[in-house]
Chain A
Amino acid sequence: MSQSLNRIAAMTARYYYILRSSWLRLLEIVYWPAMQMLVWGFLYTYLYDSKSAMASTAGLLLGAVLLWDVLFRGQLGFTFTFLEEIWSRNLANLMMSPLQPFELAASLMLMSLIRLVIGTLPVLLLTFVLFGFNVFAMGPGLILFFLNLVLTSWAIGLVIAGLVIRQGFGAESLAYSIMIVLLPLCCVYYPVAALPLWLHPVAWSLTPTYVFEGMRAVLLDGSFRTDLMLECLALNAVYLGIGFTTFVALLHSARHKGGLLTMGE
């Protein structure tokens, strides 16, 4: 167990060294969420000031943007940290070391969390200072929203990492594009009721849907939907299990296919 923790710590240190080796990389982590928040923040201000029927939904919009970014950046943090191994042609070194797949996954999760904190905290602060929107007003439920979104992002990251190992660089673009498929289905900016009836089961099979419905319940009704969060946690446990199993299966498949040694060439 202690050897396992030591290897996870070694891998996290390896990713931390990369992160701190370039201030541009650090800046990039904050840059995109901050730019996005500025755009949506100004829209929020406009709607709020307009005193139109839309004014009451302005906070929802900003909350949704913030939480969507947690999901999106969490997955990017996981996947990009993994892609570092491919870009640097280091994967075979890791696969030849005593590092176990679950230890690699754990270090990627840890690094995804670190990158998320680095990217999100300044943006939350910016949102509060510039637009007066305090995301912490959602209460302790925010922690569960955050936790569920991060777990989902890891499950998706594991599948993408597995696909990159199995398919090579051809699967790299999934890192950027896969979340866009989820965006309309997990009801980030509108309630599930806005979707056609036949899409409801699809929406409810996606964990972010529970979080965004929960967020709307908090901001519109002031009620925290514990039932939604518990269902979401259970679903996330299943998806994480599927994600890790898929990652290991694709890694095993890559060992049959060959190419682990030359990956990144």
Chain B
Amino acid sequence: MSRIERFLPRRHLTPVSPNATPAQDHAPVSPADDEAPAIAVEDLCKQYRSHWAVDDVNFIVPKGWTVGLLGGNGAGKTTTIAMIMGLIVPSFGRAMVLGHDMATERHKVLGRMNFESPYVALPGRLTVRQNLTVFGRLYGVADLKARIEELIEDFELGDVLDRVTGRLSAGQKTRVAIAKALINDPDVLLLDEPTASLDPDRAEWVRSRLTAYQKRRRATILLSSHNMTEVEQLCDFVVIMSHGRVVAMGRPAELAERFKCRDLDEVFIYLARVA
């Protein structure tokens, strides 16, 4: 097998069968959707003029898995995530979430998804409580008051609840943003650098909360991160991108072994230099 999988025919890049199970024993999220994986990216391409930001990307994320989408700056991760969210329409190919094409049927599934990204902020002039209330109502959360109380407890937001979101520290804002991302108990959660602005202690704390949520809800998480320790800790499977293409994918330990590296950090650096 070539060490750079970009030269493989694209169908070889499909990582796992939708029926495969992650390391943990997870049941499907919804019996009605048993047939469809949580996320299916098929021949996905995005072209901006002559530049291919995403070039023929294929992978699937079975329900209940946490998958890491890795790559250096400009690798195409954010564009791929944006296409999975339906915020960008692919030039070719498609991104499916819970069986729905996100370019054309996104409104059928948006209520079951949520996301957090450093590119997006919550309205800074609103208090944390107001923000959670507004988004809870947008997502049609039943018993919103109780859900907000749960999130306050889970993310220790009691002290900042009535403070204006724009005046919180970066770490507090991240906690609020993740609380917002969980407001509707999403089946599919997309996280772009969820702990980028947190100190190691807080980052570890947030990871433990995400793991707890994932186990409780049996949710599917697609995570983009530059923190390989985080990825190894959270992810069942990783997809590594470079220059808009998938260059490797597999379980973190398998990748380290395949590329004869000590850990995912080394795999990442190796691929970033040669891919």
Residues of chain A having any CB pair with chain B under 8 Å = 3, 6-7, 9-11, 13-14, 17-18, 21-22, 84, 88-90, 92-100, 252, 255-256, 258, 260-262, 264-265
Which chain B residues (134-177) contact chain A, with CB distance < 8 Å?
134-135, 137-140, 164
Q: Whole-angstrom distance from the CB of B184 to the nearest CB of chain A?
A: 9
- Give 16 A-B pairs besides A17-B125, A90-B121 with Cβ atoms closer than 8 angstroms: A3-B140, A9-B137, A10-B138, A11-B138, A13-B134, A17-B130, A84-B123, A88-B125, A89-B120, A90-B123, A92-B117, A93-B135, A97-B110, A98-B138, A100-B107, A258-B88
B115 (CB) vs chain A CBs: closest residue: A96
A88:B121 contact, CB within 8 angstroms: yes
User: What is the CA–CA distance of A84 and B115 in the complex, to the nearest angstrom?
Assistant: 21
Chain A binder among B27-35, B37-45, B79-87, B231-239: B79-87
**Judging by beta carbons under 8 Å apart, are A7 and B88 in contact?**
no
Most chain B C-beta atoms within 10 Å of own C-beta, residue among A90, A100, A262: A90
Contact between A93 and B122, CB atoms less than 8 A apart: yes
CA–CA, A262 to B103, complex, Å? Answer: 18
Let me know if B82 and A258 touch, CB within 8 A. yes
CA distance A7 to B122 in the complex (A): 17
User: Which residues of chain B have C-beta atoms less than 8 A from A7's C-beta?
Assistant: 137-138, 140
Question: Please, which residues of chain B bring their CB within 8 A of the CB of A100?
Answer: 107
Contact A88 B124, beta carbon cutoff 8 Å: yes
Please report the total number of B residues contacting A with Cβ < 8 Å: 38
Give the contacts of B51-93 with A (CB-CB under 8 A): 53, 78-79, 82, 85-89
Structural contact, A14 and B120, CB atoms closer than 8 A = no
Nearest 5 CB-CB pairs, A to B? A10-B137, A89-B121, A92-B120, A97-B138, A14-B134
In-complex Cβ contact of B134 among A10, A252, A256, A264 (8 A)? A10
Distance in angstroms from B250 CB to nearest chain A CB is 28
* Residue among A90, A99, A261 with most chain B CB within 10 A: A261
> Please, which residue of chain B has its CB at the minimum distance from the CB of A103?
B138
- Asked if B7 CB lies within 8 Å of chain A CBs, one says no
Distance in angstroms between the alpha carbons of A98 and B137 in the assembled complex = 10
9 A-B contact pairs sorted by A residue (CB < 8 Å):
A13-B134, A14-B130, A90-B123, A92-B85, A92-B119, A97-B110, A258-B88, A260-B87, A261-B117
Given A92-B87, A95-B87, does the pair A258, B48 have CB atoms closer than 8 Å?
yes
Q: Of A21, A90, A96, A99, which is within 8 A of B87 by CB? A: A96
